[in-house]
Amino acid sequence: MSQRVIAYIDGANLHKSVSALGWKLNYRVFRRWLEQKFGVEAVYIFIGLVPAQRALYLRLQEYGYVLVYKEVTYDGDGRVKGNCDADLVLKVTQDYYEGRISQAILVASDGDYSSLVAFLKEKHVFRTLLSPSNNCSFLLRKLNIPIVYLNMLRGKLERKDPSTKKAPATDVSVKGSSS
């Protein structure tokens, strides 16, 4: 088996979980961090295909992500539905059986992935779980696996909004002073 570390990301789970915690992920920094911290060679992000998000998809590809699209549907309220869980599980399983991975990293907090993680752990190819949510499923936590909570790395991975940068310090005199 070739020595390849690959990360698999449930894109909707990552985005929604981080947003629910009140911040935005800097995907460029996150991709670089995965490479530096874990030696990740490839990062697959499973994401619903929404034509209006074309610019986002192009940016993610420029940052080095391999996008795996899922056709979306819309619920009765017009919200996008594009569950990628089965596609992610199938891709990881194919990569394992075709000898493309030596270690797998999963970015998700959904308990639906517990069977996949247990399988990878049994095969000695599971490296770590990166949980975007502080509410990581008990089904994953009980597997006794390494878990990194991305919220603990918020300062390093957060996208800084240019409009919120602090203004340069100004000289403010105390009211009533003669200086």
CB 121 within 8 A of CB 97: no
Cα gap 126→6, rounded to integer Å: 10
CB 96 within 8 A of CB 90: no
Domain count, the chain: 1
Residue 167 forms part of a structural domain? no
Residue 172 forms part of a structural domain? no
The CATH number of the domain where 79 resides is what? 3.40.50.1010
Residue 112 forms part of a structural domain? yes
- Provide the pLDDT confidence category of residue 75 given band limits of 50, 70 and 90: confident
Cα gap 130→141, rounded to integer Å: 11
Residue 104 forms part of a structural domain? yes
Q: What is the pLDDT of residue 178?
A: 42
Average pLDDT on 26-30 reads 96
Residue 173 forms part of a structural domain? no
Q: Which domain holds residue 93?
A: 5-159
Helices (H), 23-84: 27-38, 54-62
Q: Which of 81, 147, 79 is nearest to 113 (CA)?
A: 147
Cross-strand bridge partners of residue 45: 9, 67
- Provide the pLDDT confidence category of residue 177 given band limits of 50, 70 and 90: very low
Give pTM, 2 decimals: 0.85
Helix (H, G, I), strand (E, B) or coil at 111: helix
Cα gap 19→118, rounded to integer Å: 28
The predicted-structure confidence for 99-129, as pLDDT tens digits, reads as follows: 999 999 999 999 999 999 999 999 999 999 9
The predicted-structure confidence for 141-157, as pLDDT tens digits, reads as follows: 999 999 999 999 998 99
Residue 170 forms part of a structural domain? no
Cα gap 116→105, rounded to integer Å: 11
Residue 177 forms part of a structural domain? no
Residue 82 forms part of a structural domain? yes
Identify the residue whose tokens are 């935005």.
24
Average pLDDT on 7-30 reads 94
What's the number of CA atoms in the CB half-sphere (13 Å) around residue 115? Answer: 7
